[in-house]
Amino acid sequence: MAAIAESSEANVNSPSLSLPPERVNHEDKSNTLGEAVPWIDNAVQQAQLARKTAEDTFENAIVVTKSRLNRILTTSSAHFNQTLDTLQDLKSEYSVYEDLAFGKIKEGLLLAASHPLATTGAVLGVGVLGLKRKSIQVFRC
């Protein structure tokens, strides 16, 4: 072991493995630290800027969402009222056509009730001519 210790001491003291004293620069460490400080300051500023940007973006998203919800509420009530008006118009038009259709049916029934012989003849004529196949089956039975 002593031989190993002597050889390691020889390696440390040997001029081929160590740098000459004039080439060893103790200012390198201070230069690297001096160069690192602005980089660290820049990184901190960028982190603060990113945090501020994220907060601003979040606040803007909240403001925009509130604005859009208010717009939806105001326009939806207008659209809802317009839809109600349209439904009222459709209801009144339907009522007019319903009255017209049921009026015609009622008129036809009153005409049929007042002329029973003509109604019977019309029904038998339509039954015989219009439903020929059914009448053939009726006559066979």
pLDDT at position 140 is 65
Q: Does some domain include residue 25?
A: no
pLDDT at position 73 is 84
Q: Does some domain include residue 74?
A: yes
Domain count, the chain: 1
pLDDT at 37 over 90: no
pLDDT at 137 over 50: yes
Q: Does some domain include residue 28?
A: no
pTM above 0.75, yes or no: no
The whole domain housing 88 covers 40-114
Q: Does some domain include residue 67?
A: yes
Mean pLDDT value of segment 25-54: 77
Q: Does some domain include residue 75?
A: yes
In order of 5, 126, 128, 134, the CA distances from 138 in angstroms are: 131, 15, 10, 6
Mean pLDDT value of segment 31-48: 79
Q: Does some domain include residue 3?
A: no
Q: Does some domain include residue 109?
A: yes
* Whether 119 contacts 112, CB under 8 Å: yes
